[in-house]
Amino acid sequence: MNRRRFLQFSLASVAIPNTLLAMHTPIKSIREDIYFSLVDYRCASRLFSRLKRVQYIVGHGNFNIISFDEALLISKRYSKVGKFQKDELELFEKLFFLDASKYGFLGKKVVKDLTTVFKRKEMKKVPHTGHFLYQEDALAHYELIRKKIGDSIILTSGVRGVIKQMYLFLGKVFRVNGNLSLASNSLAPAGYSYHGVGDFDVGKVGFGYRNFTHDFEDTDEFKRLMDLGFVKIRYHKNNKLGVRYEPWHIKVVNS
Ligand SMILES: [Zn+2]
């Protein structure tokens, strides 16, 4: 195994022991990948579990748009969640404010304020999906897609705040043994996702997780999306930014 490089902000830089590695499927990584140190990895595990408990309290739908401050409030109010520990909050903030290019993600930072609050009035919860869309551009765009293609196409992910994106990102990091570089190759770190500003994902009804794989490209729904010109790809195949090409992602915000 190559010598591991760790994220610089950490206090410790010791390799993750095999006992922790054994919990995950080893994935071949490139030489220069950046990993969580063991200290950060353990802290991130606690942070992830706590976020999961926040999700349990507020519900899957609301968790998508909960703000950082709301999550803190929930953690104080519900003993089942338990207060965020100092090191967990420090790690959260460091990860949010750190330039993600340090571990290889070269996409643009689109949400710069950690405490961004979504205005519920500006959004609509889309029935039967558990996801939210901005009332103006995104919702109109989504409704037009459904009108043209039909009920077999469905919203699979809408607006996502900093808390939800951090939760998804950490989940991904754990699945690749604490490798931040590899994780960011298939999921934007918190602050870097266009889901924070209006983009959304669609899929085929009943297609499950395969909607988030290249199998989606073989569906009639995808072909119709392409034929009708709805898919404006955010990150093209083999882009130089280190970001995965996602045919299911609908670009709403032009930037
Ligand atoms: Zn997406």
Contact 62, 181 (CB under 8 A): no
How many angstroms does the Cα of residue 199 sit away from the middle of ligand 1?
7
Domains of the chain plus CATH, in order, are 35-250 (3.30.1380.10)
How many angstroms does the Cα of residue 211 sit away from the middle of ligand 1?
11
Contact 16, 178 (CB under 8 A): yes
How many angstroms does the Cα of residue 64 sit away from the middle of ligand 1?
13
Using one digit for the tens of pLDDT, what is the confidence trace for 134-152? 988 899 999 999 999 999 9
How many angstroms does the Cα of residue 25 sit away from the middle of ligand 1?
25
| pLDDT at residue 229, rounded to an integer | 83
How many angstroms does the Cα of residue 84 sit away from the middle of ligand 1?
28
Distance separating alpha carbons of residues 109 and 189, to the nearest angstrom? 9
Using one digit for the tens of pLDDT, what is the confidence trace for 92-120? 999 999 999 999 998 899 999 999 999 88
Percentage with pLDDT > 90 across the chain = 68
Give this prediction's pTM: 0.86
Contact 103, 181 (CB under 8 A): yes
Determine which of 26-35, 77-86, 117-126 has the lowest per-residue pLDDT on average.
Answer: 26-35
Neighbours of ion ligand 1 (CB under 5 A): 201, 249
How many angstroms does the Cα of residue 209 sit away from the middle of ligand 1?
13
Distance separating alpha carbons of residues 48 and 86, to the nearest angstrom? 14
Residues near 103 by Cβ (< 8 Å), separated by ≥ 6? Answer: 7, 33, 34, 180, 181, 184
Question: Has residue 28 got a pLDDT over 70?
Answer: no
CB atoms within 10 A of CB 92: 23
Question: Has residue 238 got a pLDDT over 90?
Answer: no
| pLDDT at residue 86, rounded to an integer | 98
Distance, first Cα to last Cα, the chain: 40
Confidence of residue 243 (pLDDT cuts 50, 70, 90): confident
Sole residue written with tokens 């983009």? 199
Using one digit for the tens of pLDDT, what is the confidence trace for 167-205? 999 999 999 999 999 999 889 999 999 999 989 999 999
